[in-house]
Amino acid sequence: MLNETPRTVEEAYISAGSSTNLRVEADRMGDADILIAAGWAPCMLGGQLTRLRREWDGCSKPPLCSVTDAKLVMGSLKSLGGVLDALTVWAQAKRNPEPARFALAITSHWLSDTCNACQGRGNESIPGTPKLGRTCKKCGGSGKAAVPMGQDGRKALNMLDHCVTRAGASMRKRLRASMGRPA
Ligand SMILES: [Zn+2]
């Protein structure tokens, strides 16, 4: 983030000398609408995320700290590329200065929000002993990592959850229809 305090939409709009249509539209649209404008139906992305979660659960849960990390695990996480693409486009529309890094940080957090510093224990470990030390400074004892990328990060994570819910609902609807019951 270049700036810790988020600019208002108006300020951002005025300061953007040239904007693509999507960028201009992004100010007026909801977070999921930005995806739709970029050609991603929330349902489609939700399906992709559901597959990615399954792939993640079935693999060794590698760290996803850099674009290089992500490239290394593309083989075992076949749905990762699509999810990163969608989030990158979304972050571009939000004028994030590093959309690819944003996409990776959000996807990584969505897959696992365990605090890295304490491995989810909530306390610092004392080297050489099984005893728990002071409350983890990183997570304040919650064991959960803070949401990355500020306000847009939070919005993106909400959007991903929304997409997964949508995909689940549409799957159930199709299932009911295929069983000959009214949806
Ligand atoms: Zn911690």
Confidence of residue 182 (pLDDT cuts 50, 70, 90): low
Q: What average pLDDT does range 140-149 have in this prediction?
A: 93
Range of the domain at 27: 18-113+151-178
C-alpha triplet 99, 105, 107: angle, nearest 5°: 100
* Assigned domain for 141 exists: no
- 71 in Cβ contact with 129 (< 8 Å): no
69 CA distance to ligand 1 middle (Å): 22
Residue at 139 is within a domain: no
**How much is the average pLDDT of 31-35?**
84
CA 83/CA 72 separation, integer angstroms: 16
pLDDT at 2: 44
In a domain, 106, yes or no: yes
Q: How far, in Å, from the CA of 157 to the mean position of ligand 1?
A: 20
* 122-132 mean pLDDT: 81
Percent of residues, the chain, with pLDDT higher than 90: 45
* 173 CA distance to ligand 1 middle (Å): 40
In a domain, 47, yes or no: yes
Which residue in the block uniquely carries the two structure tokens 């959309």? 99
Distance 24 CA to ligand 1 centre (A): 39
CA of 115 to the centre of ligand 1 (A): 5
User: How much is the pLDDT for 12?
Assistant: 44
In a domain, residue 6? The reply is: no
Among 25-39, 112-126, 144-158, where is mean pLDDT lowest?
Answer: 25-39
Measured distance CA(70)–CA(68) in Å, rounded: 5
Write down the residue that tokens 């399954």 correspond to.
54
User: Distance from the CA of 124 to the center of ligand 1, in angstroms?
Assistant: 7
The pLDDT > 70 percentage for the chain reads 83
Report yes or no on 121 lying in a domain. no
Number of domains, the chain:
1
- Three-state DSSP at 156 gives helix
CA of 120 to the centre of ligand 1 (A): 6
* Residues by chain with Cβ below 5 Å of ion ligand 1: 115, 117-118, 136, 138-139
Q: What's the full length of the chain, in residues?
A: 183
Rounded CA-CA distance 162/31 in Å is 10
pLDDT at residue 128 is higher than 70: yes
Separation of 118 CA from ligand 1 center, angstroms?
A: 4
Give the pLDDT score at 69. 81
Half-sphere exposure of 2 (CA within 13 A, CB side): 7
**CA Rg value for the chain:** 19
Where does the pLDDT of residue 3 fall: very low under 50, low under 70, confident under 90, or very high at 90 and above?
Answer: very low
Q: How far is the CA of 71 from the centre of ligand 1 (A)?
A: 27
Backbone angles phi, psi at 34, to 5 degrees: -60, -40
Model pLDDT, residue 24? 54
**Rounded distance from Cα 46 to ligand 1 centre (Å):** 29
Residue 88 located in a structural domain: yes
Chain segment 61-97, per-residue pLDDT in tens: 777 778 788 887 878 899 999 999 999 999 998 899 9
Q: Measured on CA atoms in the order 139, 144, 147, 148, is the torsion positive or negative? A: positive
Selected residue with higher pLDDT from 7 and 129: 129
Cα–Cα distances in angstroms (integers) from residue 154 to residues 56, 60, 102, 160, in the given order: 21, 26, 11, 10
**Residue 56 zone, left/alpha/beta (φ > 0; ψ -120 to 50; rest):** alpha
Residue 2 is assigned to a structural domain of this protein = no
Burial of 9 (0-12, 13-18, 19+ CB in 10 A): exposed
At 116, is the pLDDT very low, low, confident or very high (cuts 50, 70, 90)? confident
**pLDDT score for 73:** 82
